[in-house]
Amino acid sequence: MTINIINKSAHQLPHYETIASAGMDLRANLTESVILQPLERTIIKTGLFIELPIGFEAQVRPRSGLAAKKGITVLNAPGTVDADYRGEIGVILVNLSNEAFTIENGERVAQLVIAKHERAEWIEVEELSSTERGEGGFGSTGVK
């Protein structure tokens, strides 16, 4: 699959680090460092603009190392870039740690996963089929 991309940053294009990688790192495109205080959120621009084929989305996901080591994550994970969006890809980061975190230009702040998706058509009915689970909600399928 090929995807058209415009790179207005000074950084290399996102790429897969290994043959089995699902995601590609997104880098901050900043003119100056951004300090993210505890519980603060901000949008970090990437300088990237993409043209996805219809039937695909780009999912913006947290980087596990950044989340585990620094408490920095993507707030709306996964964020979705729709096939008809032509604006710059931004990453909504939040600092869930107790310490300020400085984001530098070029820092790997998130990962991008390209995923196929389906479109659903609703069929209104009066009743749904029954299942063993039924209306059991949150935590209802766990071992007691």
Q: Per residue of the chain (144 residues), what is the pLDDT tens digit?
A: 999 999 999 999 999 999 999 999 999 999 999 999 999 999 999 999 999 999 999 999 999 999 999 999 999 999 999 999 999 999 999 999 999 999 999 999 999 999 999 999 999 999 999 998 888 787 777 665
- Determine, yes or no, domain membership for 135: no
Residue 58 counted as domain residue: yes
pTM of the prediction? 0.89
- Residues 6 or more apart whose CB falls under 8 angstroms from that of 10 comprise 29, 47, 105, 106
The answer to the question of residue 44 being in a domain is: yes
Residue 45's domain comprises 21-116
pLDDT value, residue 115:
98
Residue 4 lies in a domain: no
In a domain, 81, yes or no: yes
Which of 121, 3, 120, 119 lies closest to 58 in space, CA to CA?
Answer: 3
104 within domain boundaries: yes
Q: What is the sign of the dihedral through the CA atoms of 34, 83, 62 and 37?
A: positive
Does residue 43 sit within a domain? Answer: yes
51 in a domain, yes or no? yes
Q: How many domains does the chain have?
A: 1
CATH of the domain at 37: 2.70.40.10
